[in-house]
Amino acid sequence: ANRKADCETAVRAANILGTDNVRVFTGDRVAHPETAFPLIRQTLEELLPIAEKGKVRLVIENEHSQNIGTSVEIKAIMAIIPSKTLGFNWDPGNAKNLGEVTWPEGYALLPKSRMRNVQFKAKNLMNNPDRIDWLSIVKALDKDGYAGRLGLEADTGGNLIEASHDAMRQVLQMVGQL
């Protein structure tokens, strides 16, 4: 009900903070997410002029609890909303939670020109069953000319500072291999 006012506030905050991205989500995941796409499109099309006026982009995060959770769903929603003011944050850990093979299959589907942020989860950097082949992904991002941001989310539970430091060591080790 207050979406437009909330969007205006978020755009003002982005301008004050010097960022050109405002992350948005797509509603609690339903059994068949594609049935929510028309409402997502309608809602975002109402908000895109506000973002455009404020010179920021709305960035959908694929989140496993939301209606856009996989690379297939990112590709589909980007196809039906062609606005350059709309991009996405790719979190392969969230897609993996929905059973997606994020590399190389999921990555191959993404509309790279609309990717605004890529999000590492600390648990996906560690040697465990949740590990994702980040080195291959980062090499592909570089090959594909990705110029957006990379973010680290330390969501491993326990001591988040320690987890952040462990994850950053993994990132630095990976960067050393590039």
Q: What is the CATH number of the domain that holds 130?
A: 3.20.20.150
Asked if the model's pLDDT at residue 149 lies above 80, the reply is yes
Q: What percent of the chain has pLDDT over 70?
A: 98
Using CA atoms, how far residue 124 sits from 32, 96, 119, 127, in Å, is 27, 10, 10, 8
pLDDT over 70 (residue 32): yes
Task: Give the model's pLDDT for residue 102.
Answer: 96
Compute the average pLDDT of residues 17-27.
Answer: 98
Query: Which of 112, 126, 116 lies closest to 88, judged by CA?
Result: 116
**Bond before 104 cis per omega within 30 degrees:** yes
Instruction: Supply the DSSP symbol for 148.
Output: S
- Structural domain boundaries enclosing 9: 3-176
Q: Where do the H-state alpha helices sit in 54-159?
A: 71-80, 92-97, 107-109, 134-143
Angle at alpha carbon of residue 8, lines to 47 and 60, rounded to 5°: 45
pLDDT of residue 76: 99
Tally of domains in the chain: 1
Which structure tokens are listed for 2? Answer: 């207050």
Question: pLDDT grade, residue 158 (50/70/90)?
Answer: confident
Q: Could you tell me which residues come within 8 angstroms of residue 124 by beta carbon, excluding any fewer than 6 positions away? A: 92, 93, 96, 130, 131, 132, 134
Within 10 angstroms of residue 174's Cβ, the number of other Cβ atoms is 16
- For the CA atoms of 19, 22, 23, 25, the dihedral, rounded to the nearest 10 degrees, stands at 180
CA distances from 170 to 136, 158, 165 (A): 14, 18, 9
Q: What's the pTM value of the predicted model, to 2 decimals?
A: 0.94
Q: Tell me: the pLDDT tens digits for 51-91? A: 999 999 999 999 999 999 999 999 999 999 999 999 999 99
Residue 156: its pLDDT value, please? 66
Position 83 scores a pLDDT of 98
